């Protein structure tokens, strides 16, 4: 990711990293936060969101992003099974400068499975330093 808002390009695709759905973590999550959900049905939507959130947080730690102001248009398309590798990506859809010191970036975030199928997507609005 570029070092400043002005260097970010519309259409730019940034990797958010990858992770495998751990069977033990899936069982523990279901027991604690999704009672009645059988782990054999795959990762529940809430866990898929948590996975995206973790990948996004880790990837953006060094970005000039100062605040996330919105997460919209959340879509869940499938519940991947334990052992599935998920890859995250962010595509810059638009950007708008706000004064001399910051700008807003609108981006689509996707989680894809090993076959490249969409598992989860959302739109975000974030403030980046200029």
* pLDDT 10s digits, 114-126: 999 999 999 999 9
Per-residue H/E/C for 44-58: CHHHHHHHHHHHHHH
Report yes or no on whether pTM surpasses 0.85. Answer: yes
* pLDDT value for 99: 87
- Determine contact, residues 16/59, Cβ cutoff 8 Å: yes
> Can you read off the two tokens belonging to residue 21?
């759905």
Q: Which fold has domain 5-129?
A: Thiol Ester Dehydrase; Chain A (3.10.129)
**Strand order across the 13-20 sheet:** 13-20, 85-98, 102-112, 118-129, 65-76
pLDDT class of 4 with cuts at 50, 70, 90: confident
> By CB neighbour count within 10 A (0-12 exposed, 13-18 middle, 19+ buried), where does 103 fall?
buried
- Torsion-angle region of residue 89: left (phi > 0), alpha (psi -120 to 50) or beta? beta
């Amino acid at each position: 990711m570029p070092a400043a808002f002005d260097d970010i390009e519309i259409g730019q695709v940034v990797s958010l990293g990858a992770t495998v759905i751990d069977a033990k973590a899936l069982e523990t999550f279901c027991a604690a936060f999704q009672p009645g959900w059988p782990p054999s049905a795959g990762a529940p939507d809430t866990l898929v969101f948590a996975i995206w959130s973790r990948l996004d947080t880790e990837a953006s730690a060094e970005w000039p992003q100062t605040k996330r102001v919105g997460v919209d248009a959340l879509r869940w398309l499938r519940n991947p099974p334990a052992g599935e590798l998920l890859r995250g990506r962010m595509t810059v859809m638009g950007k708008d400068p706000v004064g001399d010191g910051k700008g807003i970036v609108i981006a689509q975030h996707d989680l894809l499975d090993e076959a490249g199928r969409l598992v989860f997507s959302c739109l975000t609005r974030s403030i980046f330093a200029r």
